[in-house]
């Protein structure tokens, strides 16, 4: 049965933070709830943790908020049988057999939307998402089982992938829908600044971008709590990538702007409920670190591109870990995101070489800050 555990001391820091910026934060505990258990983060807001079948990211934090005679669920976990069984435990234990009134998904990725459709159908509950996230999720799920499109093949060829690496992309394309249960055919739209009541308290939607197109964070001023999904994490920077569907996009500039926006919207002492890691205080310190991290990476990249580079030729200045077949598409996407940002700022130019690949070169007028 699901066990409710008491709130932990709000300012007890983790004993072994994973990076230097984490040392500046105040974590609420050093112990996450076990699968099937729940920790009350704030009055009526419960923190659940579900496993993920991914190397390097083995969990996701989900949230259940008391709402009158029922509950509101925020994010749902990946669409696996194991996750369904854990939810069944929570339905009987934490939720006490009371209904789910609403399901909210912060954004489209399968670890957040995977069981949204299943829970909505089980309880007849509406799904709440932003428009960009809902329709892109439906679109990507519709690609399940289809062959890789020519646009994707061209994108990765221009980015510098070898024919063998493009074959790996083709073999993996169309798997998104296998990780989610089908979304409802309708949804209630979340908009930036929208106010809504959950459990008699006002919650406000704050939308960010970069990691995904229209990511919703949920902020309750009365409780001083913000559930930030992947928009603000304590230990890692969320993936910010350019994908073949929008090759000229500039998600990194969107991400940096969103970090500045969150600094304006959230008080420094807000209790942050992230999708991964431990809830913490110190939002401004963490946001400053994220902005600094990417701005320094852009500076390094601009220096590296004094000599023309392919997107696949800049890994060394952006990533500390080895790039291999498992993470290459994500690495290419992040590399192009940084290069598109420099291009958008007028720092680098881009041309197509004789092999049909984009090369990026820093403009001679650029002076390092």
pLDDT recorded at residue 24: 77
pLDDT tens digits, residue range 191-220? 999 999 999 999 999 999 999 999 999 999
> Could you give the CA distance from residue 271 to residue 280 in angstroms, rounded to a whole number?
6
pLDDT recorded at residue 23: 64
Query: 233, 238, 182: which is closest to 22 by C-alpha?
Result: 233
Sheet holding 188-190, edge to edge: 4-5, 38-42, 45-51, 59-67, 70-74, 100-104, 127-130, 188-190
Residues 6 or more apart whose CB falls under 8 angstroms from that of 183 comprise 113, 116, 117, 127, 134, 137, 138, 141
Instruction: Answer yes or no: is pLDDT of 87 > 60.
Output: yes
pLDDT tens digits, residue range 274-293? 999 999 999 999 999 999 99
Instruction: Answer yes or no: is pLDDT of 19 > 90.
Output: no
pLDDT recorded at residue 8: 32
pLDDT recorded at residue 249: 98
Q: Where are the domains of the chain?
A: 4-147+173-305
pLDDT recorded at residue 368: 78
Read off the pLDDT of each residue in 17-24 and give the average, rounded to a whole number. 53
Judged by DSSP in three states, 304 sits in helix
pLDDT tens digits, residue range 118-157? 999 999 999 999 999 999 999 999 999 999 999 999 999 9
> Could you give the CA distance from residue 230 to residue 215 in angstroms, rounded to a whole number?
8
Domain boundaries 4-147+173-305, CATH class: alpha beta
Residue 276 — φ and ψ, nearest 5°?
-140, 140
Tokens 């197109």: give the residue: 213
pLDDT recorded at residue 139: 96
pLDDT tens digits, residue range 221-248? 999 999 999 999 999 899 999 999 999 9
Give the pLDDT band (50/70/90) at residue 46.
very high
- % of the chain residues with pLDDT over 70: 93
pLDDT recorded at residue 17: 32
pLDDT recorded at residue 367: 84
> Could you give the CA distance from residue 61 to residue 344 in angstroms, rounded to a whole number?
35
């Amino acid at each position: 049965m699901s066990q409710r555990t008491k709130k932990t001391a709000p300012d007890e820091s983790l004993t072994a933070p994973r990076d230097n910026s984490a040392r500046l934060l105040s974590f609420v505990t050093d112990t996450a709830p076990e699968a099937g258990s729940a920790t009350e983060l704030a009055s009526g807001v419960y923190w659940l943790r579900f496993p993920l079948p991914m190397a390097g990211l083995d969990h996701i934090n989900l949230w259940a908020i008391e709402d009158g005679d029922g509950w509101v669920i925020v994010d749902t976990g990946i669409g696996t049988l194991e996750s369904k069984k854990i939810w069944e435990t929570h339905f009987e234990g934490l939720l006490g057999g009371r209904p789910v009134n609403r399901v909210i998904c912060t954004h489209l990725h399968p670890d957040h939307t995977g069981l949204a459709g299943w829970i909505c159908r089980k309880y007849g509950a509406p799904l709440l998402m932003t428009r960009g996230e809902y329709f892109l999720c439906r679109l990507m799920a519709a690609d399940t089982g289809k062959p890789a499109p020519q646009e994707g093949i061209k994108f990765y060829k221009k980015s510098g992938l070898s024919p063998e690496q493009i074959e790996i992309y083709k073999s993996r394309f169309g798997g998104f829908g296998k990780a989610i249960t089908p979304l409802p055919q309708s949804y209630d739209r979340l908009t930036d600044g929208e106010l809504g009541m959950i459990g008699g308290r006002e919650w406000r939607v704050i939308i960010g971008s970069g990691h995904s197109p229209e990511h919703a964070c949920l902020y309750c001023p009365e409780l001083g709590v913000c559930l930030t999904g992947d928009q603000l994490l304590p230990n890692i920077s969320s993936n910010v990538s350019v994908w073949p569907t929008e090759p000229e996009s500039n998600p990194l500039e969107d991400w940096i702007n969103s970090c500045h926006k969150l600094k304006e919207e959230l008080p420094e002492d807000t209790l942050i409920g992230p999708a991964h890691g431990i809830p913490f205080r110190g939002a401004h310190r963490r946001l400053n670190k994220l902005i600094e991290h990417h701005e320094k990476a852009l500076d390094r990249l601009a220096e590296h591109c004094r000599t023309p580079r392919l997107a696949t030729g800049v890994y060394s200045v952006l990533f500390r870990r080895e790039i291999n077949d498992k993470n290459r598409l994500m690495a290419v996407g992040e590399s192009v995101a940084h290069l598109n940002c420099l291009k958008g700022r007028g720092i680098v130019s881009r041309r197509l070489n004789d092999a049909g690949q984009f090369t990026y070169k820093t403009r001679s007028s650029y002076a390092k800050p």
